[in-house]
Amino acid sequence: MKKVLALMGSPRINKNTDRLLTLMLKGIEDKGHEISKVHIVKKKVLPCTGCNYCGKKGECIIKDDMEEIYKGFDNSDIVILAAPLYFNTVNSITKHVIDRCQKYWSIKYQLGQNYRRNENRIGVFLAVGGTDYSHEHFSATIPTIDLFFKAINVEYRGNYFVSGTDKVPIEERKYIKEELYEIGYNIDNIKNFYCHR
Ligand SMILES: Cc1cc2nc3c(=O)[nH]c(=O)nc-3n(C[C@H](O)[C@H](O)[C@H](O)COP(=O)(O)O)c2cc1C
């Protein structure tokens, strides 16, 4: 049994991002893993101010709901981030959470301390975008997610992207249900994957 932290980054609960994530979580749940799902929009997460307090103290000076999300990162084997595409990258409330993970970068590279290295933790990224399919639709997100997963020391194991959600919402895409369930069910030992529907 693995501990899974699932971050839902859309401000719109039960819309495309949330539904996509839920389809994967169903498989994860049926396999018996323990899921902690966080709707970022329900949390107060202020933006990083770049004060470099974390570079000196190893913790963030801002005391808000990010403290709960930090605990989630610290205690999870698998981290799933789901976000909508806004201006070709992850939306701002999701980016606030990512930027606040500067703390982990500072712990490792400024303070030279260990943070959960070599523990075989897994990171998976899901995203939706309103406009029609194009090959590069989600490519601007990948370097950001790559650095984010490196900061929290999870191995970037896979992407699941869905284009065109403004025309055909997730709820109408029955064919992806089985695929997402399958990935979720096998999440703890899945090989690298890249799906773009
Ligand atoms: C401010 C804003 C910017 C957006 N920018 C993009 C974009 O750059 N590319 C894209 O494909 N869709 C864009 N969209 C559309 C969303 O990605 C789409 O509506 C998606 O389904 C939203 O996810 P949700 O349904 O989970 O909220 C944008 C939407 C908003 C509100």
Q: What is the pLDDT of residue 165?
A: 98
Report the 3 state secondary structure along 69-122.
HHHHHHCCCEEEEEEEEECCEECHHHHHHHHCCHHHHHHHHHCCCCCCCCCCCE
pTM: 0.97
Who lines ligand 1 at CB under 6 A? 10, 12, 15-17, 84-88, 128-131, 165-166
How buried is 94 (Cβ within 10 angstroms: 0-12 exposed, 13-18 middle, 19+ buried)? Answer: buried
Which of 87, 88, 163 best tests ligand 1's pocket when mutated (most atoms within 8 Å of CB)?
87
pLDDT at 78 over 80: yes
* CATH classification of the domain holding 97: 3.40.50.360
How many structural domains comprise the chain? 1
Q: What CA–CA distance (Å, rounded) separates 95 from 117?
A: 23
Q: Ligand 1 atom closest to Cα of 169?
A: 21
Q: Ligand 1 atom closest to Cα of 84?
A: 23
pLDDT at 118 over 80: no
Q: What is the pLDDT of residue 116?
A: 83
Structure tokens at 140: 């601007």
pLDDT for 155-194, tens place per residue?
A: 999 999 999 999 999 999 989 999 999 999 999 989 999 9
Q: What is the pLDDT of residue 102?
A: 98
Q: Ligand 1 atom closest to Cα of 12?
A: 27
Instruction: Name the band, by pLDDT with cuts 50, 70 and 90, for residue 4.
Output: very high
Domain residues for the domain of 105 are: 3-196
Question: How far away, in angstroms, is 17 Cα from ligand 1 center?
Answer: 10
